[in-house]
Amino acid sequence: MSFKIIIPARYASTRLPGKPLLDIAGKPMIQHVYERAKESLASEVIIATDDERIAQVAKAFGADVCMTRSDHISGTDRLAEV
């Protein structure tokens, strides 16, 4: 059985802006999340974001990125666009 993982990543969080790019043990948080998702053996792992900074960082470590609209109210809405 194959499955895909879509990771919503937003820079403009109200509680902790820039959270996906925060450095944790030498890597941005989004990279840690992506690497754990890849360990699941999903057929595809995609990072969905509306922020070019996140997209650039994700592409630099080899992630597939889907640019989404910036008007989504929730991460679930962002997933639905992909």
- The identity of residue 27, as a single letter, is K
Please report which residue ranges of 1-82 form alpha helices under DSSP H.
29-38, 52-60, 75-81
Inter-helix orientation angle 52-60/29-38, to 10° = 50
CA-CA distance, 14 to 1, in Å (whole number)?
37
Answer positive or negative: Cα dihedral of 41, 42, 46, 47.
negative
For every one of its 82 residues, what pLDDT tens digit does the chain have, with 9 covering 90 and above?
Answer: 799 999 999 998 888 889 999 999 999 999 999 999 999 999 999 999 999 999 999 999 999 999 998 887 777 778 778 8
Q: What residue segments make up the domains of the chain, in order of their start?
A: 4-67
Is the entire prediction scored with pTM above 0.85?
yes
